[in-house]
């Protein structure tokens, strides 16, 4: 019985690990013309899949190795929920079941507008506006923080995608393209 329970706990990680191993094998066998000093198309998939395989193996080992404490994080969470229900009754449960369908619809609409606007505004401007609007939709009202998070976060994304991963992002149409081109020049991106 204990072996069946253990197998149930590791099965999803084993399946994902096997799938990632197969995809890693495929990525390792990409055929392309390799240029010196330039990452090939296999580099990023192999990195991501390698991390995924490592994490799956870690989770499998964690579930197979005996621990000093038989209580898992799931058990601790269940104990916390049970004690909360005992203390607060069903009122606490109703608060946890609260839903906001209008916020969901608003988030979906923002995403659709973002997708439509990104070609016109360019990645930087569209993403700054999208992140700020999404944070505001969620109810956060410290506008200086919203502005800082949206601008700094988008700058980090632009740097990562264009400078590290070498992904071409939408520049936008005039006059918005000028903002993106200036930003690329300041960041040393060609």
Q: Please classify residue 153 by burial: count the beta carbons closer than 10 Å to its beta carbon, then call 0-12 exposed, 13-18 middle and 19+ buried.
A: middle
CA distance 28 to 102: 45
Q: What is the pLDDT of residue 153?
A: 93
Q: What is the pLDDT of residue 121?
A: 93
The answer to whether the CB of 132 falls within 8 A of the CB of 181 is no
Q: For 124, left (φ over 0), alpha (ψ -120 to 50), or beta?
A: alpha
Closest alpha carbon to 55 in 112, 12, 4, 103: 12
- Chain-centroid distance of CA 122 in Å reads 21
CA distance 127 to 157: 9
The answer to whether the CB of 138 falls within 8 A of the CB of 131 is no
Question: In the structure encoding, which two tokens stand for residue 66, read together?
Answer: 């005996």
Q: For every one of its 190 residues, what pLDDT tens digit does the chain have, with 9 covering 90 and above?
A: 567 777 888 888 999 999 999 999 988 887 777 777 766 777 778 888 999 999 999 988 888 887 655 555 555 666 666 777 777 665 555 555 677 889 889 999 999 999 999 999 999 999 999 999 999 998 888 999 999 999 999 999 988 888 877 778 888 899 988 898 888 888 887 7
Q: What is the pLDDT of residue 51?
A: 92
DSSP 175: T
Closest alpha carbon to 126 in 137, 134, 115: 115
């Amino acid at each position: 019985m204990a072996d069946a329970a253990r197998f149930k706990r590791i099965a999803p990680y084993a399946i994902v690990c096997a799938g990632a191993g197969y995809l890693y094998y495929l990525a390792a066998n990409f055929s392309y013309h390799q240029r010196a000093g330039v990452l090939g198309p296999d580099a990023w998939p192999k990195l991501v899949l390698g991390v995924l395989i490592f994490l799956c193996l870690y989770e499998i080992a964690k579930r197979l190795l005996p621990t000093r404490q038989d209580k898992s994080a799931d058990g601790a969470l269940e104990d916390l929920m049970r004690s909360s229900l005992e203390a607060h009754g069903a009122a606490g449960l109703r608060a946890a079941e609260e839903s906001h369908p209008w916020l969901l619809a608003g988030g979906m609409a923002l995403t659709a507008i973002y997708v439509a606007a990104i070609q016109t505004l360019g990645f930087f401007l569209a993403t700054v506006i999208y992140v700020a609007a999404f944070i505001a939709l969620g109810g956060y009202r410290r506008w200086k923080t919203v502005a800082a998070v949206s601008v700094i976060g988008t700058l980090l994304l632009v740097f990562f995608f264009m400078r590290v991963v070498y992904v071409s992002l939408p520049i936008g149409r005039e006059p918005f393209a000028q903002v993106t081109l200036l930003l690329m020049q300041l960041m040393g991106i060609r």
